[in-house]
Chain A
Amino acid sequence: MFNFDLQKILQIFEYNQGDPLLFGTSSFLITFFFLLVIYRLLSKYKNPRILFLIFFSLFFYYKAAGIYFLLLIFSAISNFYFGKWMAYYKKQTPRRLILLSSLILNLGLLGYFKYTNFFIKIVTDLSAGSFDPVDIFLPIGISFYTFKSLSYVLDIYFEAMEPTKSFRDFSLFVFFFPNILAGPIDRASQFLPQLEEEFFISKADIGRALLLIIAGLIKKNMIADYISLNFVDRVLGDPLRFTGTENLFAVYGYALQIYCDFSGYSDIAIGIGLLLGFKLMDNFNSPYQATSIADFWRRWHISLSSWLLDYLFRPLQMKFRNLRNYGNAIALLITFLLCGLWHGASWSFVLWGALHGFYMSFALLFQKPKNKFYKKIGLFNTKLLRVGQVFITFHLIVFTWIFFKVSDFDKAFNILDQIFNFFKPEVVPQFIESFTPTFVLIVFGYVLHFLPRSLELKTADQLSKLPFVIQALVLALVIWVVAQVQSADLQPFIYFQF
């Protein structure tokens, strides 16, 4: 006979702090399977289908943040009405006042939950007082959904879109569970029109969704979790216990880990979105293939970089335009300092952002003499130069990841000191021998990363042509393989903390 444990089933519906429905966990996969079945049954009935998705999304967020799901509802209500009021007024002054109110409310809430202790610490440090942190719960994903909701109000302010009349549709845009915790930070102007269309998923969409979910599981649950738990965290947690060789591999490993962790999550989110009939924004495009830092930001966390470009950099650039390139450089520095702070309330994130801002400004101001020099030595527009640029860009980025990973500056300098002053090439064979699976996964991860995009498209196409049963078997096989390699405990997605 079946042995139902009612208590266990009921637990699925309860909020347990630190136990969200993470993509890739068995509880999520089972829940998602039932969601998909019901959703498909409702596919012809628009209103029940959307309402079902809204309630499931709220449940998903409740599982992650408990009572703070009310904050999400408040965010949706307030921004829906800010958008509506703004469109009502034609004159600039009331529109500006509404925008200002929306910014104060959204950023004020984000600031309170995320940055209160950081600013209290700055004030107490300056006044040489003692710092008593305030106990504030950080609602998961708040940075993501705040920016997502704000983009709606900002787009109406810039007259890039008309406000929606439907609070139901806007709620789904804000609550949509695949991207609520860690993006992509979608735009209402791209999401809302999809609700006007009839529910339809093409074979190509299913093939792409399957590939994205498989890639996401491999990246996040296999590569990122394994190398972080078994290697990266151990070395970078105590860099002085290891030689420069291990420290260097750990830093390369971390660069791969953060990419696999975050882009893996995005891939699954986009794949799940596709299976529900929604196309979310692309968020990554082989970022370590970038030939410059500017190129990196066109490939890394695209939904955030384009948000910052449209709503922060462009307005700043226009303000400082009389300074021409120097104005651009100032706008870049401010944008990246705030980009760093968006990632977390600590000086190491600020430094990480400042480094990117500095790289970009420096490259901008020296672009002309640099190109002149490349032309003079006959390297301009050559393959060799591109390879060199990818190599240098990658290392400039890896350098910044050190500060992103370790919050304590002393530790960051210890890592650099070990790499530059205690590098032992003779340790390499020993390292490969003692960390064989880690080494294999790092190499596998980077090889996968540098494969051409055409191969990805071809694989998605092949997957879409397979019969449904074979597709399900392929997915089951990947889940099984990932489960075999997976470390004992699932690591939380790095990007949730932002």
Chain B
Amino acid sequence: MISDKFKSVICKELDLDPADIEVNDETKANEVPGWDSLNHVNVILAIEKEYNLRFKSLEVLKCKNIGDLQKLVDSKLG
């Protein structure tokens, strides 16, 4: 389940209005407007900063969709 906070971090970084964007566990990064392979790094850094945590590279590379990324954040906070 994608939290509102998580969604707002992504939208803020990509300059999107959360009301316009539908994001669920299965959504892939490239389905979100502006989240391309180059911008990916900025989204990851924004999430790390917001939640004050640090991912290992492999942990991020293993994520197949936004749901996996949310679970990764939850496990780090957990």
Which residues from chain A sit less than 8 Å from chain B, CB to CB? 92, 158-160, 294, 309, 313-315, 317-319, 321-322, 324-325, 327-328, 364
Q: How far is the CA of A321 from the CA of B55 in the complex (A)?
A: 11
Please, which residues of chain B bring their CB within 8 A of the CB of A322?
45
Q: How far is the CA of A498 from the CA of B43 in the complex (A)?
A: 36
A364 & B38 in contact (Cβ 8 Å cutoff): yes
What are 22 A-B contacts defined by CB distance under 8 Å?
A92-B58, A158-B61, A158-B62, A313-B37, A314-B37, A314-B40, A314-B61, A315-B57, A315-B61, A317-B37, A317-B41, A318-B44, A318-B57, A319-B57, A321-B41, A321-B44, A321-B45, A322-B45, A324-B41, A325-B38, A327-B41, A328-B41
Q: How far is the CA of A386 from the CA of B38 in the complex (A)?
A: 21
Tell yes or no: B76 within 8 A of A by CB.
Answer: no
Q: How far is the CA of A322 from the CA of B57 in the complex (A)?
A: 12
Q: How far is the CA of A328 from the CA of B44 in the complex (A)?
A: 13
- Which residue of B37, B38, B44, B62 contacts A159 across the interface (Cβ within 8 Å)? B62
Please, which residues of chain B bring their CB within 8 A of the CB of A294?
38
Q: How far is the CA of A294 from the CA of B36 in the complex (A)?
A: 11
**What 1/0 mask marks residues of chain B from 36 to 67 whose CB sits below 8 Å from any chain A CB?**
01101110110000000000011011101000
Further 13 A-B residue pairs, CB within 8 A, beyond A324-B42, A364-B38: A92-B58, A158-B58, A158-B61, A160-B62, A315-B57, A317-B37, A318-B60, A318-B61, A321-B41, A321-B44, A324-B41, A324-B45, A328-B41
Q: How far is the CA of A357 from the CA of B77 in the complex (A)?
A: 38
The interface size of chain B toward A, counting residues with CB under 8 Å, comes to 13
Q: How far is the CA of A324 from the CA of B38 in the complex (A)?
A: 9
B64 & A318 in contact (Cβ 8 Å cutoff): no
Q: How far is the CA of A313 from the CA of B60 in the complex (A)?
A: 13
Q: How far is the CB of B60 from chain A (nearest CB, A)?
A: 6
Q: How far is the CA of A159 from the CA of B71 in the complex (A)?
A: 15
Which residues from chain B sit less than 8 Å from chain A, CB to CB? 37-38, 40-42, 44-45, 57-58, 60-62, 64
A328 & B62 in contact (Cβ 8 Å cutoff): no
Q: How far is the CB of B73 from chain A (nearest CB, A)?
A: 16
Q: How far is the CA of A325 from the CA of B60 in the complex (A)?
A: 18
Q: How far is the CB of A222 from chain B (nearest CB, A)?
A: 36
Please, which residues of chain B bring their CB within 8 A of the CB of A315?
57, 61
Q: Using known A-B contacts A160-B64, A324-B45, determine if residue A309 contacts B37 with beta carbons closer than 8 Å.
A: yes
Please, which residues of chain A bring their CB within 8 A of the CB of B58?
92, 158
Please, which residues of chain A bring their CB within 8 A of the CB of B61?
158, 314-315, 318
Most chain B C-beta atoms within 10 Å of own C-beta, residue among A160, A318, A328: A318
Most chain A C-beta atoms within 10 Å of own C-beta, residue among B44, B58, B60: B58
Q: How far is the CA of A103 from the CA of B20 in the complex (A)?
A: 44
Please, which residues of chain B bring their CB within 8 A of the CB of A364?
38
